[in-house]
Amino acid sequence: MSSQPSNSEPSPFDRLNEKVQHWIWDKGWSELRDIQAKAIGGILDSEDDVILAATTAAGKTEAAFLPILSTTASEKIDSFAVLYVSPLKALINDQFRRLEDLCERLELPVIKWHGDASAAAKAKAMQKPRGVVLITPESLESLLVRRGPDVRRMVHDLRFIVIDELHAFLSGERGVHLASLLKRLDATAGRRIRKVGLSATIGDFALAQYFLNPHGPQTVRLIESSLGQPELRLQVRGYREPDPEREGRKPEQERLVPAQTAIVGHVYQALRGRNNLIFASRRQAVESVADALGRLSEDKRVPNEFFPHHGSLSKTLREELEERLKSGELPTTAVATTTLELGIDIGSVASVAQVGPPASIAGLRQRLGRSGRREGEPSVLRIYVREPDRPAEDDPFELLRLELVQAVAAVNLLVSKWVEPGGSHGLHLSTLLHQTLAYICERGGARAREMFELICGPGPFAQVSDHDYAALLRAMNEAKLIEQSPDGILMLGQVGEAIANRFDFYAVFMTDDEYRIVTDQRTLGTVPVFNPLREGDFLTFAGRRWIVLSIDDRAKVVMVRAAPAGRVPQFPAQESVPLHDKLVHEMRAVYESGENYPFLDLVGKTLLQEARDAYRQLDLHSRQLLNVGDDIYLFVWRGTKATETLRLALASQDIRTEAYSIGLHAKYCELDKFKSALDSIFQHPPTAHAIAAFAEPLRRQKYDAHLPDEMLRDAFARTRVDENILKAQNLLPQPI
């Protein structure tokens, strides 16, 4: 890599600090990547906030830090210079390894700041804050709450906040939490601190711009890589789930293999011998698939290459698997939940597999980005879907092969480069309550108007009015979370102090009581205490099988040793990913189309044809209501929010239904009664608040238990009800 002639404009490389240039030379880079070259001018030539958008493994971390460190290294900065925020501790550890050598050359310290990081290193950094801090939102909250008076000294000259995996913060309570923390940091520093967001998958850049700068989103610069995606090779494979009773009547040689057995067999044949990732939606599924692959390897007397990776496994086990993938010395396939979806460096993988249909196109794109990272290599994706071999003739949803069609629709949207816009629209009362307590802790007390002006307004709580906030404070006072001194200062109440002193206060999401699983003094991970474990029980965990030796209920420790059998434990049910209107519309387009999708295997093509035949036989092009026996099926063809709204509206008419991806199912319901209820809903649409009266459960987030029903129902009505579906007059699908 060489500099430009002196009579020409300096190249992006020429504009970097000389020590940064030497670091790049020593790395053996022949040139800067596209996003890196663009980011240098974008960051150095203005004071605007910036979003760097590029595919996974495009070098976004260096794109941000090469110019940021070039400018901060040459300035006298009397505090931390850069704050890097990540959603994962593992990603922080990974970025620390990537930045450590570069920062050492620039004589800038780089500090990991999370629960597993060195306490001595953090204490030293607090005494003399300099350089780069790598931190999670929860550790940032802990720093503000516990070291409030000291934080101003640590950040008063802070130049940049870098937010990695920005898309992961654009929805959900952690994103709301971080957005609020950013406002509090600006207030602590006494000025707006410049923000740089990094992301591979953003469906709505306007939303990302608002997240970084809610007071001036139009000033946030978007810098995108112009490089294309690698070649995509994909296959959706269909599997028939046999009916055990029916198969039992067949001769053994004619019986269908259970779908999971067939899926595991194909995964073993297709993936063994290289590095791969397999994603499943739940921890139970991860453990089940990993166990089946491990047993198959054992049966074939070959070394096991398939290992689980999820949030309940110990940090040590997860890091060992990540390092094994990264080193590439042994072929390794990780079976994971979302824990390996984000940008932890695990090296290049040959392929990605998904067990079950994708619910999120953004998540699917993020997962696919793990494959095809080396120049000239394609991205390889396999999706495995199971459907009943003989669907019930009286169940239209089974006949329509919903999971197979959802997988096809997701692939179509992936290829079209569409991504969900995301967003955290809502009142987020649980997180607002938490931020109120946290701010009082940070400042030692605060006035109501001061907190409203800082926490609310443009940003994550923009929909919260002063009336809403006053009602929240009254509810918190009644619950003894806060109390007011004679001079009007709000302080923690008795219950508020107890909450703020808990070890889990710094996180806004709920955590479960758990047993720690231990063998030979080595912690394997944790399982929820609601699992009915007893001595002598068998357990499948961490990809192996165990027998329970003893249980210490007080210490919440379960001792185990290896065993020949096991049972996958239960884990908390995670709230399912809501389907976007666009995905459900695409599902209907798949039914209506006669297109032959080359990415389907033979069984998948047969299942799709059966689904299309059922769609035509049921006349769903023009019908939205089916009466089958004593049951009613309503085809809504909208996303989760609209379908749930209609489900609650029907509940207000005393009709109970169960929601599916494309509609609702009412059991033992008279057709006339159902039609009458629909007519009533569309002729006299219930208000959002009337619908919210039937919402259960109301308490879904960590601090909802401290809020009155009427406040939670009001929040539900304002944020989770799609009133447009109630004004549609009818549900006849629009022509395709």
Contact in structure between 197 and 211 (CB atoms under 8 Å): yes
Indicate the CATH number of 13-224 among 3.30.460.80, 2.30.30.240, 3.40.50.2300, 3.40.50.300: 3.40.50.300
What percent of the chain has pLDDT above 90? 80
pLDDT digit string, tens, across residues 368-386: 988 887 777 899 999 999 9
What would the mean pLDDT of 438-461 be, rounded to a whole number?
96
Reported as a pLDDT band with limits 50, 70 and 90, residue 729 is low
User: Mean pLDDT lowest for which of 50-59, 235-244, 339-348, 492-501?
Assistant: 339-348
- Reference 103, options 68, 77, 58, 149; nearest CA is 68
Instruction: Determine the pLDDT at residue 511.
Output: 81
User: Mean pLDDT lowest for which of 67-76, 246-255, 511-520, 624-633?
Assistant: 246-255
What would the mean pLDDT of 118-139 be, rounded to a whole number?
94
Asked if residue 302 has pLDDT above 80, the reply is yes
Contact in structure between 114 and 108 (CB atoms under 8 Å): no
What single-letter amino acid sits at 131?
G
SS3 letters across 13-76: HHHCCHHHHHHHHHHCCCCCCHHHHHHHHHHHCCCCCEEEECCCCCCHHHHHHHHHHHHHHCCC
Q: Where are the alpha helices (DSSP H) in 80-192?
A: 89-105, 119-127, 137-146, 148-155, 173-189
What would the mean pLDDT of 278-291 be, rounded to a whole number?
95
Buried b (16+ CB within 10 A) or exposed e, 328-350: eeebbbbbbbbbbbbbbbbbbbb
Does 232-415 carry CATH code 3.40.50.1580?
Answer: no
Same fold, 13-224 and 232-415: yes
CA dihedral 127, 130, 136, 141 (to 10 degrees): 50
Asked if residue 276 has pLDDT above 50, the reply is yes
Question: What does the alpha-carbon distance between residue 638 and residue 636 come to, in Å, rounded to a whole number?
Answer: 5
Instruction: Determine the pLDDT at residue 662.
Output: 97
Instruction: Determine the pLDDT at residue 736.
Output: 45
Quote the pTM value. 0.91
Instruction: Determine the pLDDT at residue 77.
Output: 94
Mean confidence (pLDDT) of the chain: 92
Instruction: Determine the pLDDT at residue 401.
Output: 98
Q: What CATH number has the domain spanning 429-500?
A: 1.10.10.10
- Reference 230, options 96, 56, 354; nearest CA is 56
Sign of the CA dihedral with 100 first, then 103, 109, and 115 last: negative
Question: What does the alpha-carbon distance between residue 456 and residue 27 come to, in Å, rounded to a whole number?
Answer: 46
Instruction: Determine the pLDDT at residue 731.
Output: 58
One-character DSSP codes across 358-412:
-S-HHHHHHHHTTBS-STTPPEEEEEEEEEESS--TT-HHHHTTHHHHHHHHHHH
Reported as a pLDDT band with limits 50, 70 and 90, residue 424 is low
Reported as a pLDDT band with limits 50, 70 and 90, residue 686 is very high
Instruction: Determine the pLDDT at residue 733.
Output: 46
Domain map of the chain by residue range?
13-224, 232-415, 429-500, 514-562
Return the residue matching tokens 């689980």. 308
pLDDT digit string, tens, across residues 695-724: 999 999 999 999 999 999 999 999 999 999
pLDDT digit string, tens, across residues 318-367: 999 999 999 999 999 999 998 888 778 888 899 999 999 999 999 999 89
